[in-house]
Amino acid sequence: MNKSLTATAIATNGALVDDLALTHRIAFVVEASLDRGAASNRCAVLGTGLANKHPEIIGPDLGTADYLQLPGFTKVPIAILTNKDQPLRDLARRARESGCTTLVFLSRAQGMRSYDAYRESVAQTSSADLDVDALAIFGPKKSVNSVVGALPCLR
């Protein structure tokens, strides 16, 4: 067995499955009114933040038969969902209360020209007034599902 996998990894269809993929889940939830381009951008941005906060979600690099190295990416299943009628700030609060890592994307970020300007804007805003239009949730499957289980997939 590959030492990078834990002892309880299991075989399915002849392939090993990492424990993290079995026990955890990632959900991106985007405002239903966003167009696909904006929704995709937000998921990409949130994904970089999540990978920074939880590098264990990233699998090892891959190699092709002719020795081309491909960078690793997530080992954990990702769902891309929309919020229906539920305010994203409320979903983020519920996710945090469930012990999940929760990252938010604020709609104001779209127009910001620097991260410093964005940071200053956020510092001047109460958490109750954040203009959340996308979020990432990572944690144990049961906790993530308790927050997002009824939400529809992005179509």
Per the structure, the complete domain to which residue 77 belongs is given by 23-144
1 within some domain: no
37 within some domain: yes
Q: For residues 7-29, b (16+ Cβ closer than 10 Å) or e, as one string?
A: eebeeeeeeeebebbbebbbbbb
Report how many helices (DSSP H) and strands (DSSP E) the chain contains, helices first: 5, 8
The predicted model scores a pTM of 0.86
Would you call 136 exposed, middle or buried from its count of C-beta atoms within 10 A (0-12, 13-18, 19+)? buried
Counted domains in the chain: 1
126 within some domain: yes
Question: Which of 14-23, 48-57, 86-95, 107-116 has the lowest average pLDDT?
Answer: 14-23
Tell me the C-alpha distance between 77 and 98, whole Å: 19
12's enclosing H/E stretch is: strand 10-12
Residue 15 pLDDT = 62
7 within some domain: no
Q: What is the CATH number of the domain that holds 114?
A: 3.40.1490.10
Angle between helices 141-148 and 88-97 (to 10 degrees): 150
Residue 109 tokens, joined: 């970020």
pLDDT tens, residue by residue, 5-58: 443 444 555 566 788 989 999 999 999 999 999 999 999 999 999 999 999 999
Beta carbons of 109 and 131 less than 8 angstroms apart:
no
109 within some domain: yes
150 within some domain: no
DSSP string, 124-151: TS-GGG--EEEEEEEEEHHHHHHHHTTP
112 within some domain: yes
SS3 call for 50: helix
56 within some domain: yes
